[in-house]
Amino acid sequence: MLLLETTSTKVAGQICPLCEHRANPVEADELFECDTCRGIFRFHEFHLSPEREKERYLEHNNDVHDAGYRQFVFPITNAILKTYDRQAIGLDFGAGTGPVISEVLQEKGYRVVQYDPFFFPDSRLLNATYDYIVCCEVIEHFSNPAREFALLKRLLKPGGRLYCMTHLYDETISFSNWYYKKDPSHVFFYRAETLTWIAQAFGYSSVNIQNRLVVFQND
């Protein structure tokens, strides 16, 4: 458990938005840690408004042609190119202002569609199913991760894979100084144990973690 800092009693014992168990305060009134799924979440009163959240994303300089940006997403694009052929249909979920994964794969002749509640809000895409789904630097923004992970499971075909990229927390990181925590649009933080909990709770056959790349298998 993280070191408890000063906190008021009025918000003690919040309910985890992933596993719905009671969580403990870890930083003032703002952040809580769940002993069940091991996730850490930001109290909803500290979430950005939708307008400010969109502004925050627009501050990102996500140029789909930038070599550094392409290298950053290489773990996902490389894994997909090695696993799927051009007949597979993918979903770039939370594609953001610069859907670089879609761009790289489409350049190779792959079929990928983009969904993002702010920038590609075509909800009709959520009525289909996909051979693979990518969530690159997305799941840390889930204010309701239980709902979002249930949706992603429903969107994924049997035998499909969900590819996520995020920075996992572990005890080698100074949480109070962690750059990931300081981004106000990041509202849920995952440990490796949290991902194992998700795989079991949502019915994935396995989860594989390779640094920032997380792959859920839907057998």
Q: What is the pLDDT of residue 62?
A: 76
Q: What is the pLDDT of residue 27?
A: 83
CB-CB contact of 95 with 131 (8 Å): no
Q: CATH code at 106?
A: 3.40.50.150
CB-CB contact of 96 with 62 (8 Å): yes
2 domain-assigned: no
The whole-angstrom separation of Cα 152 and Cα 175 is 28
How far is C-alpha 58 from the chain's CA centre? 18
26 domain-assigned: yes
Average pLDDT across each block of 10 residues of the chain; the chain has 219 residues. List them in order. 46 85 90 97 96 92 85 97 98 95 97 97 97 98 98 98 98 95 97 98 98 97
Considering its fold, how many domains does the chain have in total? 1
Domain that holds residue 106: 9-218
32 domain-assigned: yes
